Amino acid sequence: MLPEHPAFLWRNPEPRRRYDVVIVGGGGHGLATAYYLAARHGITDVAVLERGWLGGGNMGRNTTIIRSNYLWDESAAIYEHSLRLWEGLQEELDYDLLLSQRGVLNLAHNLHDVRESRRRVYANRLGGIDAEWLDPDGVKEVCPLVETRDDVRYPVLGATYQPRGGIAKHDHVAWAFARGADRLGVDIIQGCEVTGIAVRDGRVQGVETTRGRIEAGEVALAAAGHSSVLAEMAGLRLPIQSHPLQALVSELLEPVLPCVVMSNAVHVYVSQAHKGELVMGAGIDAHVSYGQRGGVHVIEHQLAAALELFPIFSRAHVLRTWAGIVDTTPDASPIVGATPVAGLWVNCGWGTGGFKATPGSGWVYAHTIATGAPHELNAPFSLERFRSGALIDEHGAAAVAH
């Protein structure tokens, strides 16, 4: 019997000695995968193993930007699938995710930006994604606070605009998927670190954990920045580099920023949280690291960039800064699918932009694990592409843009 108390989120079970599927990582992607395995495929003999607490990784550290306006058909398709799932997710999970489709502006500051951005708008429209090109007056109309004078160092020459883009409350998303999965019978086990992956004759057998060995038919990695550490336990080397990515919030302000504003050239993105803080992020710290902190110079650069676009924010105080560890691939696109070890699956490489993919990623990953073959949406995002050369280069749309 499940408790009926409305504050009840999930059980806290002891790990069993065997599951059909063990998911490693209780971030958004692992939890969404568990939920869809149970809800869509009827696979409920599932454990999510999280070494810390749910949502304590990038899921609770990201700046919550959601959009689908990527350049290539493959990426636009998977992110748009995710955006459509977002649009029905509060009802499906019966949880207020504070999804706010307030629109996302990607500013262009030079001719190259303009060409690349317009190309992306045309590509998005061909793919059925809402995308508009705005001139500086149009930008001002959508977001009156953006500096659009033309005598500044990085004048705004225009912007792409995705009205259906926006933000959501990231920790609610983790809790909602966790509660949904738990109610369907999934064991969510916090404080359980995977320390080894058992492989025999090319097939995965289970995992070693700080709470004992757990046998599994399938082991699905969803460990974001620590994916390569885990893959190495099974003798695999992933094409992943893990970097700190920082963000910050200001003190609380009254609502002043009506949409999300991003700029690759100036190198910052800004939104305003429901509570009132300005939320800002920038590019990754250049060094590889597993320390969830970054260099102060990156924060300084980020604030300088923000003030280029929003001089009016110069009096706002920074409340706190933090970092998460993001898993970047050579083509700035994710990896979702099989590995050379039978029964071992990988979902990683979402880098700086995987929050928006949370439902879509879980949906296709669950399909892949349940059927033993990729869904058509994640088939292009195989590990194999780094051998075949069929890369999906999203540096333009992914880079600093989250």
Ligand X SMILES: Cc1cc2nc3c(=O)[nH]c(=O)nc-3n(C[C@H](O)[C@H](O)[C@H](O)COP(=O)(O)OP(=O)(O)OC[C@H]3O[C@@H](n4cnc5c(N)ncnc54)[C@H](O)[C@@H]3O)c2cc1C
Q: Which residues bind ligand X (CB under 6 A)?
A: 24-30, 49-52, 56-59, 61-65, 193-194, 222-224, 226, 230, 245-247, 281, 324, 326, 350, 352-356, 402
Pair 335, 346: CB distance under 8 Å: yes
Beta carbon nearer to ligand X, 148 or 227: 227
Closest by alpha carbon to 30, among 172, 174, 183? Answer: 174
- In angstroms, what is the minimal distance from the CB of 141 to ligand X? 24
Task: Give DSSP secondary structure letters for 214-226.
Answer: EEEEEEEE--GGG
How far is it, in rounded angstroms, from Cα 360 to Cα 381? 13
Residue nearest ligand X by beta-carbon distance: 27
- In angstroms, what is the minimal distance from the CB of 275 to ligand X? 16
Beta carbon nearer to ligand X, 57 or 359: 57
Q: Which two tokens stand for residue 300?
A: 């300084």
Pair 347, 220: CB distance under 8 Å: yes
| Amino acid at position 371, single letter | T
> Kind and range of the H or E element at 281?
strand 277-284
How far is it, in rounded angstroms, from Cα 148 to Cα 313? 15
- In angstroms, what is the minimal distance from the CB of 152 to ligand X? 25
How far is it, in rounded angstroms, from Cα 227 to Cα 242? 9
User: Which residues have CB under 8 Å from 17's CB, separation 6+?
Assistant: 212, 213, 214, 215
Bridge partners, 346 (sequence order): 221, 337
How far is it, in rounded angstroms, from Cα 74 to Cα 336? 13
- In angstroms, what is the minimal distance from the CB of 278 to ligand X? 14
Q: Which two tokens stand for residue 61?
A: 């550290």
Pair 385, 75: CB distance under 8 Å: no
What is the CA angle 143-145-149, rounded to 5?
A: 100
Beta carbon nearer to ligand X, 222 or 338: 222
Beta carbon nearer to ligand X, 148 or 352: 352
- In angstroms, what is the minimal distance from the CB of 50 to ligand X? 5
- In angstroms, what is the minimal distance from the CB of 24 to ligand X? 5
- In angstroms, what is the minimal distance from the CB of 43 to ligand X? 19
Beta carbon nearer to ligand X, 157 or 299: 299
Beta carbon nearer to ligand X, 367 or 402: 402
Beta carbon nearer to ligand X, 44 or 292: 292
- In angstroms, what is the minimal distance from the CB of 362 to ligand X? 9
User: Which residues have CB under 8 Å from 275's CB, separation 6+?
Assistant: 252
Beta carbon nearer to ligand X, 60 or 127: 60
**Buried b or exposed e, range 307-318, using 16+ CB within 10 angstroms:** bbbbeebeebee
Beta carbon nearer to ligand X, 70 or 310: 70
- In angstroms, what is the minimal distance from the CB of 379 to ligand X? 20
